[in-house]
Structure formats: structure tokens, C-alpha cells
């Protein structure tokens, strides 16, 4: 795997995982590690907001948002995932597109919010994806990004990089994403941590931010993007 095409390999691997992912996605979003993400996001939005879910997978989050009457567009690289997303959301207004999330076939400055839940790490160039998110969100729009924390076992997908192998998981620490985002024009407005069973019984809120992040299974950021005047005019 030293000379793989990242996009093609990511598409293949996520396509192979579609059935397994689909069997557990509802649980993740309803009672599991992702249950707090939608409430966390929508408390900052109007009731009719247009939301883009990039790396939407089998579309459970998109489906939930669409049933709440948000205007939802989902994007994913895997056609197998998208088939499940379209079927699940067939009685809603949700729309789904097959695309590399670092090159979105979407209108500039259209969405009130963009979300990337555990998808940014699976791209070859996370900064390019951030720039695409900035492009499609409106001025003063929101960008919600969740990445796996230090205690999440799925991060082992990137381990073989230490042998010089090219892997399709771009592991990053929460502080790295925050720094990358803020150096590229995003302003943090909110954040939440998700913890494994056991850790959530500790007084984590009394700890410093870096210690809370170091204990996290997942960290969820909400950023705001104020577009420069030249970018607003060009859009």
C-alpha cells in the first residue's frame, strides 16, 4: 500500500464497510457516541437552516436533520453508503451526492452550516477540505467538525504509517485541528468532548482543556467563518 491512490482506496474501503456501518449507525446517533452532536449543532441554527453533511456515510445524521425540516445535503465518496442514505431519507427533502469532500460539486456561500463528523481524518489533505467548507458556507456560517480523540481505538487505522506505509487515515490531535482551523480563518464558538464509559464518571469538567481533550474518545468543535469582503463579493 505504499503507492495507493488515496481517494480510490478510501472509496473501496468505505464501500466494503457500508453494511457493517449501517448496522450500527442508528445506535451511534441515537444513544451512542454521536447522540449529542445534532443537539449541539442545531442550538446555534435557525429552524430552516441549510446544512451540508460531508462524509455523510449511510446518512443517518442527514436523515435526522431532514426530519426536523432542515434543508440537508449529504456528500460521500462511497456509492454503497449513499444508496443506504438515499433509501433511508427517501420520504424527506434530503439530497445526496457522490464526491470527494476535498472537491465538492456544490454552490459557494450556500449553506448556513457544514458538518464533518469523523470524516476529516479520512482525507489526504484536511486543509483542502477546510477550504472547501469555507467556500460553501455563507458569510458568518458555522462549521462543525468532530475528530476522534486520543482514547479512540479506530485511530489504529493510521498506525501502519510508522512503517512508512501510506494509510488512508490522517490522525490528528484535537489541539492540532483547532490550531489549523484558527490559522485559516475559523473562529471557535463552542466545543464538546465525548468520553468512554468510566471516564464520563470522572469530574472531567474540573480539568484543564488540554487534559479533557487528552481523555476524549471524540472532540467536537463548532467554528464560525467570517468571510473577507473580497471573498463575499466574488461569491
Per-residue pLDDT tens digits for 201-210:
889 989 999 9
| Closest by Cα among 126, 92, 129 to 114 | 129
| Contact indicator for 124, 102 with CB cutoff of 8 Å | yes
- Torsion, CA 138, CA 193, CA 152, CA 66, rounded to 10: -40
Reported residue count of the chain is 235
Confidence at 156, pLDDT banded by 50, 70, 90: confident
C-alpha cell at 156: 489504529
**DSSP per-residue string spanning 24-46:** HHHHHHHTSTTTTHHHHHHTTS-
CATH code of the domain in which 207 resides: 3.40.50.150
At 36-74, the pLDDT tens digits run 999 999 999 999 999 999 999 999 999 999 999 999 999
Confidence at 3, pLDDT banded by 50, 70, 90: low
Residue 34 lies in a domain: yes
If you average pLDDT over every residue of the chain, what do you get? 93
C-alpha cell at 202: 470522572
Residue 136 lies in a domain: yes
Which residue segment(s) compose the domain that 154 sits in? Answer: 6-234
Q: Is the pLDDT of residue 232 over 80?
A: no
Structural domain total, the chain: 1
3-state class of 90 per DSSP?
Answer: coil
C-alpha cell at 148: 476522534
Write down the pLDDT at residue 1: 44
Mean pLDDT of 85-90: 96
| Contact indicator for 109, 138 with CB cutoff of 8 Å | yes
Mean pLDDT of 152-173: 86
Residue 1 lies in a domain: no
Express as a percent the part of the chain with pLDDT over 90. Answer: 82
Write down the pLDDT at residue 74: 98
Contacts (Cβ under 8 Å, ≥6 apart) of 25: 57, 58, 60
Residue 116 lies in a domain: yes
| Contact indicator for 160, 211 with CB cutoff of 8 Å | no
Amino acid at each position: 500500500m505504499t503507492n495507493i491512490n488515496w481517494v480510490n482506496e478510501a472509496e473501496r474501503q468505505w464501500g466494503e464497510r457500508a453494511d457493517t456501518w449501517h448496522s450500527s449507525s442508528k445506535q451511534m446517533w441515537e444513544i451512542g457516541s454521536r447522540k449529542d452532536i445534532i443537539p449541539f449543532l442545531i442550538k446555534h441554527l435557525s429552524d430552516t437552516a441549510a446544512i451540508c453533511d460531508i462524509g455523510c456515510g449511510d446518512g443517518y445524521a442527514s436523515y435526522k436533520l431532514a426530519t426536523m425540516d432542515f434543508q440537508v445535503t449529504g456528500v460521500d465518496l462511497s456509492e454503497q453508503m449513499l444508496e443506504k442514505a438515499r433509501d433511508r431519507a427517501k420520504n424527506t427533502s434530503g439530497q445526496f451526492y457522490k464526491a470527494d469532500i476535498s472537491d465538492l460539486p456544490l454552490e459557494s456561500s450556500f449553506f448556513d452550516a457544514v458538518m464533518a463528523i469523523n470524516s476529516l481524518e479520512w482525507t489526504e489533505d484536511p486543509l483542502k477540505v477546510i477550504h472547501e467548507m469555507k467556500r460553501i458556507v455563507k458569510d458568518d456560517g458555522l462549521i462543525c467538525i468532530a475528530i476522534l480523540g486520543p482514547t479512540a481505538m479506530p485511530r489504529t487505522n493510521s498506525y501502519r504509517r510508522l512503517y512508512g506505509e501510506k494509510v488512508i487515515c490522517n490522525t490528528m490531535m484535537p489541539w492540532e485541528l483547532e490550531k489549523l482551523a484558527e490559522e485559516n480563518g475559523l473562529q471557535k464558538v463552542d466545543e464538546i468532548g465525548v468520553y468512554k464509559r468510566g471516564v464520563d464518571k470522572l469530574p472531567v469538567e474540573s480539568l484543564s482543556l488540554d487534559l479533557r481533550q487528552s481523555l476524549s474518545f471524540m472532540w467536537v468543535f463548532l467554528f464560525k467563518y467570517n468571510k473577507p469582503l473580497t471573498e463575499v463579493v466574488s461569491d
